[in-house]
Amino acid sequence: MKKNFSEFKDFIKGKKVGVLGIGISNIPLIHFLVKLGANVTAFDKKTYSMLGRVATDFEKSGVKLILGEEYLNDLTGFHVIFKTPSMRIDNPALLKAKQEGTYITSEMEEFIKYCPAKTYGVTGSDGKTTTTTIIYNILKKEGYKTWVGGNIGTPLFSNIEEITKEDKVVLELSSFQLMTMTVSTDIAIVTNLSPNHLDIHKDIEEYIDSKKNIYKYQRAGDLLILNKDNALTYALRNEAKGEVMYFSTNEKLEEGAYFKNDTLFIMNEQVCNLEEIKLKGMHNVQNLLTAFCATQGDVSVASMRYVATNFNGVSHRDEFVREVDGVKYYNNSIASTPTRAIASLKAYGKPVILIAGGYDKKLPFEPLAQEAYSNIKTLILVGATKYKIKEVFDSVIKEKKICMKIVIAENFSEAILAAKMAASPGDIVTLSPACASFDMFENFEVRGNKYKEIVMSL
């Protein structure tokens, strides 16, 4: 039984509350907590001048600010602390606060706990944003008032009083958001699992354990959706608390969604043919099948079909930028892991000119070289991992006795110009970095936008 939000309002009023991180999701949260009568202190590594008007507005509304490099020095004396998703729960400052009896939570955890609407949670290593967006569009097409949040959309907790029992809420949830969760969504989806974020997580086991929280606290009658083709994901079925449904591109399923004879099915009913879909690649077929499983109890096949045959995709995900001198340029900046880059490269149907490299998430690049070498015509490497990636490709080139040109670029602009120099009419150039962006850019979106800006100026 879901909790009534009036309980939270009674609980938070007059409490001394700390909010760690003054970012996109926490700014509306802080204003909302003030409105509910909490005494709020906001913490951030940024300085007052860096925050600018945000800091001024908070001070006007009575929010105390603790800023700068030493912002986590003292978290004592708080009743409640809302942490930013990327902060580990075993941070010494948080551990000390917890020992003192502080209730430590997050904006998303409290939202799921009190949200009156049916919630659809999407996690996994790849395909989360596209799957979340497809589910959102299918529900919307069916006529539901639908909200989207978590890693995408807008922060929802501050809007919780506007959401009704009849609405639908779709959430993209990262391992960081799930790591401390003690509550699960009504429908939980795990798209796939492969090593990721090992720069933050201690190991692959901790990473997978964090993902499990999306269904760990479900009840009988709730639904868990798993990728039957992915061994790590399929293994989770034994821990399900409610019902389980699968999707597969390899085998026919009596219950669930599957792909056979170039056709997508849900519960043995045909939805659409492969040639009707605008999204490229089998990874996007999987994303569609996942969305069909998630929505099958709430929508018509007609709504599924409409979205499947009209949805063009999300920015920075195999996004067509432009054609220059007969060469097509694609932006896949979201491909921040080797597995995601591999799926994208296989979707083009011919060897491409690949721009890769970036921040080191401590992931192995051997799979990229071993599985995708035949999909790459020329490899342009840039960023902190360029020599690490070159080493594994050199090894595969030697082993397979293949010919592949590798170019090392000193900066991002140079990488794109090198790709242009290597391309001939009919070629495809794609930015599928297989790495995060943090060595050169604030996030993958900034990286993708910079790529598009340079390509548009060629």
d(CA 386, CA 366): 13
Task: Pinpoint the residues of the chain covered by CATH 3.40.1190.10.
Answer: 111-310
* CA 328 – CA 234 distance, rounded (Å): 37
CA–CA separation, 210 and 166 (whole Å): 30
Mean pLDDT within 103-131: 94
Residue 201 pLDDT:
53
Q: How far is CA 166 from CA 139, 147, 361, in A?
A: 12, 12, 41
E-strand ranges in 14-161 read: 16-20, 39-44, 64-67, 80-82, 103-105, 118-123, 146-150
Q: Where are the CATH 3.40.50.720 domain residues in the chain?
A: 5-105
Query: CATH 3.90.190.20 spans which residues of the chain?
Result: 319-456
Instruction: Provide the mean pLDDT of the chain.
Output: 93
Looking at residue 102, what is its pLDDT? 96
Tens of pLDDT along 374-430? 999 999 999 999 999 999 999 999 999 999 999 999 999 999 999 999 999 999 999
* pLDDT value at 200 more than 90: no
- Give residue 158's pLDDT: 92
- Residues 310 and 114: their CA atoms lie apart, in Å, by 34
Confidence bin at 57 (pLDDT 50/70/90): very high
pLDDT at residue 199 greater than cutoff 70: no
CA distance 216 to 205: 15
* Mean pLDDT in residue range 206-230: 93
Contact 273, 262 (CB under 8 A): yes
Domain over 5-105 is classified CATH 3.40.50.720: yes
Model pLDDT for residues 278-293, shown as the tens digit of each residue: 888 898 999 999 999 9
Asked whether the predicted pLDDT for residue 311 surpasses 60, the reply is yes
Is residue 210 predicted with pLDDT exceeding 90?
A: no
Round to whole Å and give the CA distance between 190 and 294: 11
Task: Work out the average pLDDT over 170-187.
Answer: 91
Q: Which pLDDT does position 161 carry in this prediction? A: 96
> Contact, 156 vs 177, CB < 8 A?
no
Residue 155 has pLDDT above 80, yes or no: yes
Instruction: Please state which architecture CATH assigns to domain 319-456.
Output: Alpha-Beta Complex (3.90)
Q: What percent of the chain has pLDDT over 70?
A: 98
pLDDT of residue 19 exceeding 70, the answer is yes
Classify 111-310 by CATH class.
Answer: alpha beta
User: Is pLDDT of 299 > 80?
Assistant: yes
pLDDT of residue 198 exceeding 60: no
